[in-house]
Amino acid sequence: MTAGPVDARSAALDAYLVRRAANGFRVETRSGGQAVILRRHRLHFLLRWFAHGLAEQRLVVSVDQHGQIVARAAEPVRW
C-alpha cells in the first residue's frame, strides 16, 4: 500500500514542527495540513504589558499539495 498525498503532507508538516520545536515553539492547534505554533519569550508576563509584539510569536504553518511549507504570522489572540 502506498502513502497518499495527505500522508506526504502530514509527514512534511510533522518534520517542520519537530524542527521548530527545537527552537522553542509549541503546537497550539493542528490539523492534517495546517498548524498554529507559538513561542513565548521567557519574560512573557512582563513583555505582554509593555511590548506585546516581543512577548510571543505565533505562526500559521500550512503545507501545499507539493509538500512545500508556508509559515506566516498569525493574528494575535483576542479575548
pLDDT 10s digits, 8-19: 888 999 999 999
Range of the domain at 63: 5-73
How many structural domains does the chain have? 1
| Residue 70 pLDDT | 93
Q: What is the mean pLDDT of residues 23-45?
A: 82
Please report whether residue 39 resides in a domain. Answer: yes
User: Cα–Cα distance between 40 and 25 in angstroms, integer?
Assistant: 8
Residue 78 has pLDDT above 80, yes or no: no
Please report whether residue 23 resides in a domain. Answer: yes
Q: Is the dihedral of CA 68, 72, 44, 31 positive or negative?
A: negative
Residue 43 DSSP one-character state: T
Please report whether residue 12 resides in a domain. Answer: yes
Residue 4 has pLDDT above 50, yes or no: yes
Please report whether residue 78 resides in a domain. Answer: no
